[in-house]
Amino acid sequence: MYLDDLTQLFGVSGFEKSVREYIQSFCKSYADDIFVDQIGNLIVFKKGTDHPAKKRIMISAHMDEIGFAVTDVTDQGFLKVRYMGGISNKVSLYQKIQFRKGVIGVVLSNGKEEDDKDFSSLYVDIGASSKEEAMSLIDIGEPASYIGPFTPLTGRLIASKAMDDRIGCYILMRVLSEMETPPMHDVFFVFSVQEEVGLRGAKVAVHTCKPDIGVAVDITGSFDTPGAANGFTKLGKGAAIKVMDGSVICDDSLVTFLCTYAASHQIPHQREVLARGGTDAGAIHLFEKGVPSCGISIPTRYAHSPVGIVDMADVGSCIYLLDGMIHSQSLDEKNPA
């Protein structure tokens, strides 16, 4: 089991190096080609059959996680920070965070925040007693992530920081390493960078892959907790097949294919509509003349927190569905094979 290691690696947007190195060393023995592009995406190529109907499929899961970066240090040695990706004040208060070089701090507030996204009131206490001491320990711009240990809960539920989207990376690694026969299609497994700050890695990787079809493997909401917003997807109900989110309206025919395939292979699944937020599919589908794209998502409670929770049964369903897709001769909605 390597999901525990994967979630605990440091990988705030733009600083994904240790995640990339870990995944690269795991994937290299399974790849037909493996390389890192100039922005830091890891691209693992798996050659398909010689069938004339084969396609180029780009499957993207992002390596980066949300976090913070130091913007200033006060005379008393407290750090001011900005957010890297979608973080709320409410979630951050009283959390422990770890900077890339190892320094640990606690997030606090001066109590004057106007709204949940106003981070000017936040400060980080690393225990330094002066500006000089703090500056000797951290650099301006240094990133930090939540501390959130990998924790098995009841049943097949697990909690951790960075579940978004190390769980997607894990699914790609499982599909790559466990496939019994080569895929029907040429598959580019892309472990992308900087998704949380605007799908930046995928926008670059799509130029390398030049896909006929795009797939984002990422988390989605789980609307099954007290006071949850309206939403359909729930933990334990299977792989979530994206219909749309804030960044993409999925290709109708691919959505139908995935639903039909899942139903005919007894793979638990649910349709997904996410009111806000996006995935790498948002970048892929706009490439050149357009790329039919879809998403296979993992329902996740408390995303963008130190305690994102997924159900490993759903993860298994996503693995089966993705493996089925890349081995299917026809991705035709009417005739999935």
Given the complex with Zn ion, which of 59 and 137 has the nearer CB atom? 59
With 0-12 / 13-18 / 19 or more C-beta atoms within 10 angstroms meaning exposed / middle / buried, residue 273 is: middle
Which one of 6-14, 51-59, 216-224, 316-324 is the stretch in contact with Zn ion (CB under 5 A)?
216-224
Q: Which one is catalytic: 65, 195, 196, 272?
A: 195
Residue 210 has a CB neighbour count (10 Å cut-off) of 12
CB of 310 to Zn ion, least distance (A): 12
Contacting residue, 65, 218, 245, 251, with Zn ion by CB under 5 A: 218
Told to check if 165 binds Zn ion by CB under 5 A, we report yes
Span 18-47, contacts to Zn ion by CB under 5 A: none
Which one of 15-23, 101-109, 165-173, 221-229 is the stretch in contact with Zn ion (CB under 5 A)?
165-173
Told to check if 164 binds Zn ion by CB under 5 A, we report yes
Which one of 37-45, 159-167, 180-188, 233-241 is the stretch in contact with Zn ion (CB under 5 A)?
159-167
The rounded distance, in Å, linking the Cα atoms of 92 and 58 is: 34
Distances (CA, A) of 233 to 188, 210, 220, 225, 299: 28, 31, 8, 11, 6
Q: Residue 303 has which token pair? A: 């995303």
Given the complex with Zn ion, which of 95 and 192 has the nearer CB atom? 192
CB of 24 to Zn ion, least distance (A): 20
Q: Which residues of 125-154 are buried (b: 16+ CB within 10 A; e: fewer)?
A: ebebeeeeebeebbeeebbbbbebebeeee
Told to check if 142 binds Zn ion by CB under 5 A, we report no
Q: Residue 301 has which token pair? A: 């409670």
Told to check if 64 binds Zn ion by CB under 5 A, we report no
DSSP assignment string, 88-110:
-HHHHTT-EEEETTS-EEEEEE-
Residues ≥6 apart with Cβ < 8 Å to 244: 250, 273, 274
Which one of 35-43, 135-143, 218-226, 316-324 is the stretch in contact with Zn ion (CB under 5 A)?
218-226
What are residue 84's phi and psi, to 5 degrees?
Answer: -115, 100
What are residue 186's phi and psi, to 5 degrees?
Answer: -75, 125
Residues ≥6 apart with Cβ < 8 Å to 86: 66, 196, 277, 304
Given the complex with Zn ion, which of 164 and 245 has the nearer CB atom? 164
Among candidate residues 245, 250, 161, 182, the one with its CA nearest the CA of residue 213: 250
Query: Does residue 333 carry a catalytic annotation?
Result: no
The rounded distance, in Å, linking the Cα atoms of 236 and 156 is: 9
Given the complex with Zn ion, which of 98 and 220 has the nearer CB atom? 220
CB of 220 to Zn ion, least distance (A): 9
Told to check if 251 binds Zn ion by CB under 5 A, we report no
Among candidate residues 152, 161, 6, the one with its CA nearest the CA of residue 95: 161
Given the complex with Zn ion, which of 108 and 244 has the nearer CB atom? 244
Which residue is nearest to Zn ion, using beta carbons? Answer: 165
Given the complex with Zn ion, which of 66 and 176 has the nearer CB atom? 66
Q: State the number of binding residues for Zn ion (CB under 5 A).
A: 3
Binding footprint of Zn ion on the chain (CB under 5 A): 164-165, 218
Which residues are designated catalytic? Answer: 195
